[in-house]
């Protein structure tokens, strides 16, 4: 597996896991979402979802903030902003002052799947649903933006970018077209996990 693919895998698992933890709100022993996905299978092997953001940008942002994000995944309380996501939105000029440029971002997402007709309606609907989710969670998102660093070197990022990208990743995986989804035991377990621990 190449370095770029490894980063994509790690990001996918990060977003899947973080989405579940965000939904759960706690890390508890009796919480089926707390431990993350039940199998080590790469979600991209189950459903090769299109990359909505340029892979080179995501890889660069992962290199900058991957270790910080791993630490933050273990923290409880108000969900922290994902700096990998904010970094990517900054790099594509989609983010400014706690806001995403919704129309521009929608166009970027749709351009990413313009040659994949099986994904087009799903991505369009998911984009609308994820922005609606962000509106409902705005109080929590704004609270996350006001957190103070909790360990040396932690950068506090606004949660809006991570909320949208995590939601998109979760919805695209959960609604993976049948023509694309790889049916096997581990992939079925991963999809079941996504249905038990949904982002929305």
Share of the chain above pLDDT 70, in %: 80
| More confident site: 94 or 15 | 94
19 has a pLDDT exceeding 50: no
CB within 8 A of 158, min separation 6: which ones?
A: 81, 86, 95, 98, 141, 144, 145
How far apart CA 103 and CA 101 sit, in angstroms, is: 6
107-116, 166-175, 179-188 — which one is most confidently predicted on average? 107-116
- Backbone region of residue 153 per phi and psi (left: phi > 0; alpha: psi in -120 to 50; beta: other values): left
- Report the chain's C-alpha Rg in angstroms: 16
Under 8 Å between Cβ of 24 and 47: no
Q: In degrees to the nearest 10, what's the CA dihedral of 174, 10, 14, 93? A: -90
Under 8 Å between Cβ of 173 and 192: no
Buried-exposed string 126-141: b where 16+ CB fall within 10 A, e elsewhere: bbeebbebbeebeebb
State the pLDDT at residue 169. Answer: 87
The mean predicted confidence, pLDDT, of the chain is: 83
Neighbours of 161 (CB within 10 A): 25
As to burial, measured by CB atoms within 10 angstroms (0-12 exposed, 13-18 middle, 19+ buried), residue 10 is middle
State the pLDDT at residue 2. Answer: 54
182 has a pLDDT exceeding 50: yes
Domain ranges across the chain: 50-194
State the pLDDT at residue 81. Answer: 92
| More confident site: 15 or 138 | 138
Give the confidence band of 108 by pLDDT, cuts at 50, 70, 90: very high
50-194: CATH topology is Recoverin; domain 1 (1.10.238)
State the pLDDT at residue 140. Answer: 93
73-88 residue pLDDT tens: 788 888 899 999 999 9
Alpha helices in 114-199 (DSSP H): 117-136, 138-145, 160-174, 185-196
128 has a pLDDT exceeding 90: yes
Share of the chain above pLDDT 90, in %: 56
196 has a pLDDT exceeding 80: no
The DSSP bridge partners found for residue 171 are none
Is the pTM for the entire model greater than 0.85? Answer: no
26-76 residue pLDDT tens: 344 456 676 777 888 888 889 988 999 998 999 999 999 999 988 887 888
């Amino acid at each position: 597996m190449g370095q770029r693919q490894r980063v994509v895998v790690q990001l996918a698992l990060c977003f899947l896991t973080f989405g579940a933890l965000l939904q759960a709100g706690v890390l508890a022993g009796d919480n089926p979402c707390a431990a993350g996905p039940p199998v080590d299978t790469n979600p991209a092997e189950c459903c090769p979802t299109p990359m909505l953001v340029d892979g080179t940008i995501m890889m660069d942002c992962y290199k900058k903030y991957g270790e910080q994000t791993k630490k933050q995944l273990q923290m409880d309380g108000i969900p922290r902003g994902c700096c990998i996501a904010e970094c990517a939105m900054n790099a594509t000029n989609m983010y400014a002052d706690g806001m995403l440029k919704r129309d521009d971002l929608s166009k970027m997402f749709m351009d990413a799947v313009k040659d994949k007709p099986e994904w087009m309606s799903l991505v369009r609907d998911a984009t609308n649903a994820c922005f609606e989710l962000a509106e409902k969670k705005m109080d929590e998102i704004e609270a996350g933006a006001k957190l103070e660093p909790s360990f040396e070197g932690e950068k506090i990022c606004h949660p809006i970018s991570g909320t949208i990208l995590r939601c998109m990743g979760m919805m695209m995986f959960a609604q993976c077209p049948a023509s694309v989804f790889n049916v096997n035991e581990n992939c079925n377990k991963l999809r079941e996990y996504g249905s038990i621990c949904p982002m929305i």
